[in-house]
Amino acid sequence: MTSSPDNAGAAVLAPPPASPRSDAIAAACALAFALLVVAMSWSMDRLESQGGSLWTAPGLWPGIVGILLGALAAALLVRSWRRAAAIGWDSAEPNDTPLVPTPRFVAAAALFFLYGIGLVGRGLPFWLGTAAFVAFYVYAFYEGPAGRSRSRRLAMALAIGAATALVVTLVFERVFLVRLP
């Protein structure tokens, strides 16, 4: 693996080159998963006996996500075929896409698990847990322009956390009609 500097000057590892064959395999797996999600969403109870419609069915949004995942997988599959026609199935082009350093990724993943397992549904209201999580995440991971003071970064993080919590809560409760904890 090679390293290249990112904006902050830290060394970031570049992934190994990907062959069209590996892209095609990943696309086929993602497409199979997308089809499974759509099929399972379609087979969910639509609650018609309780006056539910297609638009209020619990499988609607998972089905939409499955369709979008399928479309992206199909696009990756088409791209892998085009690349294979140009360079061959097993050839690999250099890939200079920087990877996120592993400790930073682990910290972000740990925060997501803490939010999903520890904050939501464990006593804190949803809006408060979401506001705290987003504010902490933004403060911890967004560096912003050079020279910005800590207090200004904290104020920005708190504002983004509050706005996110407000919008997410209103959308889920008013648009999707989902009662949040």
120 and 166 part of one domain: yes
Section 100-113 average pLDDT: 85
3: which strand partners?
13
Provide φ and ψ at 7, rounded to 5°: -60, -35
- 53-78 in b/e form (b: 16+ CB < 10 A) is eeeebebbebbeebeebbeebeebbe
Provide φ and ψ at 132, rounded to 5°: -65, -45
Residue 1 belongs to some domain of the structure: no
51 and 106 part of one domain: no
pLDDT tens, position by position, 129-147: 999 999 999 999 887 777 7
pLDDT tens, position by position, 45-61: 777 777 777 677 778 88
Provide φ and ψ at 11, rounded to 5°: -75, 135
**Cα(123)–Cα(118) distance, rounded to whole angstroms?**
9
82 and 109 part of one domain: no
Residue 25 belongs to some domain of the structure: yes
**Contact by Cβ (8 Å): 73, 4:** no
pLDDT tens, position by position, 70-79: 999 999 999 9
Average predicted confidence (pLDDT) for the chain: 83
Tell me the pTM: 0.56
